[in-house]
Amino acid sequence: MSTEVESYKIQKMVELLAPKLTRQVVGSLVGCVHCGMCHETCHYVMTHPDDPKMTPSYKADQLRKLFKRHYDWTGRVFPGWVGAKPPTRDVDLDELKDIAFGTCTNCRRCTFNCPMGVDTATLNRIMRGLLTQVGVMPEGVRVVSKDTWELGNQMGVLKEDYVETLEWLSEELVMELDDERATIPIDKVGANIVYTINPREVKYDPRTISEAALIFYAAAEDWTMPSWGWDQTNFGLFSGDDAMGAASYRHLQEKNAELGSQRLVISECGHGYRSTRCEGPNWSKTDQDFVMESSVMTMLRYIKEGRIVVDKTKNSDPVTFHDSCNNARSCGFYEEPRELLKLVCTDFQEMYPNRTENYCCTGGGGAMSMSEYTPRRLVSAKVKADQIAETGAKVVVTSCHNCVDGLGDLIRHYKLDCQVKQLVHLVANALVLEECAISKIPKEKPVPEPVPEPVQEPVVIPVEIPADRVKIADALSGRRILIVEDEEDTRIFLATLLQDAGAVTLEAVDGDEAIATARAEKPDLITLDLSMPGKDGVEAFIEIRNDPDIRDIPVCIVTGHPEFRKVIYDRPVRPPEGYMDKPVIEEDLVANLRRILETSRAEGS
């Protein structure tokens, strides 16, 4: 029977759904009775009472329609009768994107309130994943995904910047404590603990790293931070991209194995904890083979073991605790932070509802990176704002960086008289250093400073250019190459590299400009980025291939999205002549382009 599918992307989504269909997922897809019990459990519903589309079952129905139409025979035979009419056009995907990314933070509150045990949040994540895999996602998600694939962390922090920040923090801490033992060790092999963080800490809140370092120092812990595989957050959880989830998790897993550590500690981050501790092994299809714990558990253990001593009177403001949805509902982690909080502050007020019934901070599910949905998000934040205001607390404590941002935003928006802190702040502030484990270990005698050697004039050593580099120098001599790339830094890098190889470069920043330039200039080759604002590389590629004037120009895809390879190669047009993943190796790129040009010339002649 015809399935009436028109859109290529939707066909791909149907195919991509198959491997995600576990028994449990199918149970959630067929189990919904549309009773509406989930309706009033969602913060989007509560704050948008006139918009029925906010109801969780409606959001899950978007995936359900696709499933029923293509995988459940009742939907194949009677699609209209059982609600199995999914969208069939590309334009409908924008609405799906809006629903999946813009009206749900995957907080899982509806899941806990479904009498049937339907996991609506998981269904929404699957829909996100399908959309992401066919290139339909909010721009923020696209950028973060790109950074994750290319740089191994979701905020695009360069390795040098990361290491420099740690070194700077380390120097400051050593100076402040006047103790060399307060160093932040990087890549120390055999340390007991490998401490992983959220890139937000390096970029916006390095104080949390210093405070964690102070606590490790106080506990006389043998710890280290990895120079790679340090981002415990995992955008795959938000984008629904299991491949990215697996890759990000493996970075940590492999680095931890390389350092031979016994325990991987995850700084306070809800989605980081869930994606590393809980989902990472599932995505990567490897059983968990090392201990992973939240830094909350580490700090609590230090206090219980007497390795650190705290004075709770140092934190005397009334505090309340916000449960991160990922910690509480998806990882069962809600008592330890309370236990710790009661040990380090004097006035703790419970927030209601709490634990697995708590409301989302509204910054979850990647919402903070999707600015187009900010107004809606802030409206939905009213529920949380009321919850906080009712406690009368001056400090909202949370164990999640995402929640810090989400709560900070709503506190500003609703003008609440309080601030957001994490447990690491309170523990560090309450430390009584002179009674901690480190104070019981005598300092080693200071090693005398080495006498600096006299400064000599720099010796210039002639650099010999390797033979293959000499070959590269004119490998593309005289060839006209159109570089299509939206990111200025990358575009300049590629242009410089290709010009150095003798090419004449043209540049375009999006799909429309690429097509126009290709038509006007007829370059010898096009390097094409895939994820760009406006007309993206996938659409541009199809258009180039369908235009008789430019269809013969060879195209080399240069992308940070290896997952798009199948999408590109499955198109009903001639595949690209080359496909390279970012970050590109200079020699490889030049050699690859030269090969493409030579092959195309040979075929042309």
Partner 1 sequence: MEAHGVHYAIEVIHWVALGVMALVYVLRLLWLFKFKNFRDRQAPGENGDTTNWPALYSLGNVVMPWAMESTRKRPFFYVTFVIFHLGVVAGIFLAFISSLNRPFLEEPVVASIFMIILAAAFLVSVGRILRRLLRPVMRLISTPDDYFCLSLLTVWFGSGVLAEAHISGHLHSEWYLTIYLALTSFFLLYVPFSKISHYLYYPFTRFWIGQTLGHRGSMPASRG
| Residues lying near partner 1 in the complex (CB under 8 A) | 21-28, 30-34, 36-41, 52-53, 55, 57-58, 61, 74, 80-83, 111-119, 277-282, 285-288, 291-293, 297, 328-336, 350, 352-357
Nearest distance from C-beta of residue 21 to partner 1, angstroms: 5
DSSP 413: H
CB of 24 to partner 1, least distance (A): 5
Beta-sheet pairing, 223-224 with 193-196: parallel
Smallest distance, Å, CB 359 to partner 1?
11
Comparing CB distances to partner 1, the nearer of 57 and 369 is 57
Nearer to partner 1, 388 or 497 (CB): 388
The smaller minimum CB distance to partner 1, of residues 112 and 414, is found at 112
- C-alpha 163/C-alpha 228 separation (Å) is 10
Q: How far is the CB of 13 from partner 1 (least distance, A)?
A: 18
CA distance 204 to 209: 11
Q: CA 319, CA 342: separation in Å to the nearest integer? A: 10
- Report which residue type is found at 378: L
Residue 257 vs 291, nearer CB to partner 1: 291
Six-digit token pair at 348? 């703790």
Could you give the maximum distance between any two Cα atoms of the chain, in Å? 88
Cβ closer to partner 1: 48 or 203? 48
Inter-residue contact 480 to 572 (CB < 8 Å): no
Phi first, then psi: give them for residue 213, nearest 5 degrees: -60, -40
In this structure, the dihedral spanned by the alpha carbons of residues 72, 73, 74 and 78, taken in order and rounded to 10 degrees, is 120
Which residue number, 292 or 410, has a Cβ lying nearer to partner 1? 292
Residues in a beta bridge with 291: 263
Q: How far is the CB of 318 from partner 1 (least distance, A)?
A: 17
Tokens, residue 173: 């801490």
3-state secondary structure of 122: helix
Helix (H) or strand (E) holding 40: none
Minimum CB separation of residue 541 from partner 1 in Å reads: 34
CB closer to partner 1, 64 vs 491: 64
SS3 309: coil
Minimum distance between the CB of residue 423 and partner 1, rounded to whole angstroms?
Answer: 16
Helix orientation angle between 295-304 and 335-344, rounded to the nearest 10 degrees: 50
| E-strand stretches of 152-308 | 193-196, 223-224, 263-266, 291-294
Residue 373 CB, shortest distance to partner 1, in Å, is 21
Nearer to partner 1, 383 or 495 (CB): 383
